Amino acid sequence: MLDSLVELVRGKRIVALTGAGISTESGIPDFRGPKGVWTRNPAAEKQSTIQHYLADPEVRRAAWRSRLDSATWTAEPNRGHKALVALEKRGKLHALITQNIDELHQIAGNSIAKTIEVHGTMRRVMCWSCGARSPMEDALARVRAGEADPPCRLCGGILKSDTISFGQALVPAVIDRAMEAAAEADLLLAIGSTLQVYPAAGVVPQAKENGARIVILNDQPTPFDPIADAVLRGAIGDVLPRLCAA
């Protein structure tokens, strides 16, 4: 099975789409899985909903407390991330579209030019009023120093992580870039994503309609399994390095 897949990968223009599943092996919990953040603590979902976040200071204080404790700050890229770096080094990675907000792809060594973060990054904050961006670690230092809900230093506005919350519009230019890359792919590798969140999941049919082969690597079934050329269920850290070594 893997041998014929390795053949599929050979000599192709590859676009990877990654979701939370590639980062769980780095110790970052997903959201809706059995050990997911929202499964264990449904109240945490409110912190990720823009209306609640903007309206309720207590929701923001709770959000800052949980940001302080995020597993992301100590997480390191795993073998799955490194396999995609190897693919880029060999000139085969056309684009890396990620739903993840942890920047582990860039830390592993994928170039910023190839990486398309459709849901933003939690390593930066943005001001809801003036749009100014600044490093998350500066804001967290203020929280540690006693500011429970630090305001924007420029305008006093509400700060949030520079990610796409529920109820918040995606960045059209970023989505356009992802869709364009998907249309140019010879092979789309969908890795660790349940492919249920749009518009990110839409890159799969977009690639398919433009003639790409589709390989899905995820531990749960996805809605696009029926149109995939191959569906793999193994651990990403085991399967992806072998697949990318072609």
54 burial type by CB count under 10 A (0-12 exposed, 13-18 middle, 19+ buried): middle
| Nearest to Zn ion of 132, 140 (CB atom) | 132
| Nearest to Zn ion of 6, 50 (CB atom) | 50
> Each residue of 164-187: b (16+ CB within 10 Å) or e?
bbeebeeeeebbeebbebbeebbb
Q: How far is the CB of 133 from Zn ion (least distance, A)?
A: 10
| Nearest to Zn ion of 14, 125 (CB atom) | 125
DSSP state of 172: H
Question: Any idea which residue has 């049919």 for tokens?
Answer: 205
Contacts of 127 (CB under 8 A, 6+ apart): 133, 152, 154, 155, 157, 158, 159
Q: Scanning residues 152 to 181, which ones bind Zn ion (CB under 5 A)?
A: 152, 154-155, 157
Tell me how crowded residue 58 is: count the other CB atoms within 10 A of its CB: 11
Peptide bond preceding 205: is omega within 30 degrees of 0, i.e. cis?
no
Do the strands 120-127 and 159-163 form a parallel or antiparallel pair, or are they unpaired? antiparallel
First to last CA, the chain: 14
Using CB under 5 A, which of the segments 16-24, 59-67, 87-95, 151-159 binds Zn ion? 151-159
DSSP assignments along 216-232, one per residue: EE-SS--TTGGG-SEEE
Q: How far is the CB of 156 from Zn ion (least distance, A)?
A: 7
| Nearest to Zn ion of 118, 152 (CB atom) | 152
Contacts of 79 (CB under 8 A, 6+ apart): 25, 236, 237, 238, 240, 241
Residues annotated as catalytic are 119
Q: How far is the CB of 139 from Zn ion (least distance, A)?
A: 12
Question: Any idea which residue has 């099975």 for tokens?
Answer: 1
Establish if 55 lies at the interface with Zn ion (CB under 5 A).
Answer: no
Per-residue contact string for residues 115-134; x = within reach of Zn ion by CB under 5 A: ------------x-xx-x--
Per-residue contact string for residues 73-112; x = within reach of Zn ion by CB under 5 A: ----------------------------------------
Count, residues near Zn ion per rule CB under 5 A: 8
| Nearest to Zn ion of 71, 132 (CB atom) | 132
User: Which chain residues interact with Zn ion by CB under 5 A?
Assistant: 127, 129-130, 132, 152, 154-155, 157
